[in-house]
Amino acid sequence: DSGVTQTPKHLITATGQRVTLRCSPRSGDLSVYWYQQSLDQGLQFLIQYYNGEERAKGNILERFSAQQFPDLHSELNLSSLELGDSALYFCASSDKPGNTEAFFGQGTRLTVV
Amino acid sequence: AQSVTQLDSQVPVFEEAPVELRCNYSSSVSVYLFWYVQYPNQGLQLLLKYLSGSTLVKGINGFEAEFNKSQTSFHLRKPSVHISDTAEYFCAVRGNNNDMRFGAGTRLTVKP
């Protein structure tokens, strides 16, 4: 158990809908990362927050947004969903910049039908 | 920003044979390097990491990796693989800006 909790584990929704994925980082970790893993594109970095502020942005679509709350949990919002958004979404956390690894949650599997 | 290239998307190997999974990185700043493993239907687990010091890093499950600054490489090796090593392996790099980037992954398949 990495200590990173993601909910829900599975999500099935229709095209055009909006969903929210939730991540609780390890206790004490200030950084949260979001990744999308799909068969055709591998593991893609989406966005990173550090202590409530956006720190880095990767290949995140405009239809997607995220935030980190004062209690350090994070949410990834996906809107106007398309079939191609079906993927495994991972959250990871780490405690400080630079020399520590990221700890991953088990992921949320999103299926858009 | 830093980036990672994993040179092989798939590596098939027979049980008890040695294996090397290749990783090259690019970065203009000091980097920290990681190898993660992902078993089917699971999240990513850390295998090993290079932060500083000795360029040969030992990790879990008998894996090791060597940091080569001149070749900007961080290849993962195991002298004798088991069926249970079948998984996806990801190389990752992290720079001073706290941004962590992963390679596309290498699928290791160990055959009996």
The pLDDT tens digits for A45-59 are 899 998 999 988 888
Residue B62 phi/psi, 5-degree rounding, is 80, 5
In chain B, pLDDT over 90 holds for what percent of residues? 72
Taking contacts as CB-CB distances below 8 angstroms, the residues of chain A near B52 are 99
| pLDDT tens profile B64-92 | 999 999 999 999 999 999 999 999 999 99
Task: Enumerate the residues of chain A whose CB falls inside 8 A of the CB of residue B90.
Answer: 43
Amino acid at B23: C
Identify which of A2, A56, A92 has the shortest CB distance to residue B97.
A56
Grade residue B2 by pLDDT with cuts at 50, 70 and 90.
Answer: confident
Grade residue B20 by pLDDT with cuts at 50, 70 and 90: very high
Per-residue model confidence (pLDDT) at position B92: 92
Nearest to B105 among A43, A56, A102 (CB): A43
Which chain B residues have a beta carbon less than 8 Å from that of A89?
Answer: none
Contacts of B42 (CB under 8 A, 6+ apart): A106
pLDDT at residue B31, as a whole number: 80
The answer to whether A97 contacts B49, with C-beta atoms less than 8 Å apart, is no
Spell out the residues 6+ positions from residue A107 whose beta carbon is closer than 8 angstroms to its own. Answer: A6, A9, A37, A88, A89, A90, A91, B43
Residue A96: per-residue pLDDT:
66
Using alpha carbons only, how large is chain B's radius of gyration in Å?
Answer: 13
Those residues of chain A whose CB sits closer than 8 Å to some CB in chain B are 2, 4, 31, 33, 35, 42-43, 45, 48, 50, 55-56, 58, 90, 92, 94, 97-99, 101-107
Residues on chain B bordering chain A, Cβ-to-Cβ distance under 8 angstroms: 32, 34, 36, 42-46, 49, 51-52, 90, 92, 94, 96-102, 104-105
Band (pLDDT 50/70/90 cuts) for residue A97 is low
**Which residue would you say has higher pLDDT here, B95 or B71?**
B71
**What CA–CA distances, in Å, run from B92 to A45, B30, B59, B63?**
11, 14, 15, 16
* pLDDT tier for residue B27 given thresholds of 50, 70 and 90: confident
Confidence band of B53 (pLDDT split at 50, 70, 90):
confident
Closest Cβ–Cβ partner in A4, A50, A105 for B98: A50
Provide the CB-side half-sphere exposure for B61 (13 A, CA).
17
Say whether pLDDT at B101 is over 90.
no
pLDDT at B97 (0 to 100): 64
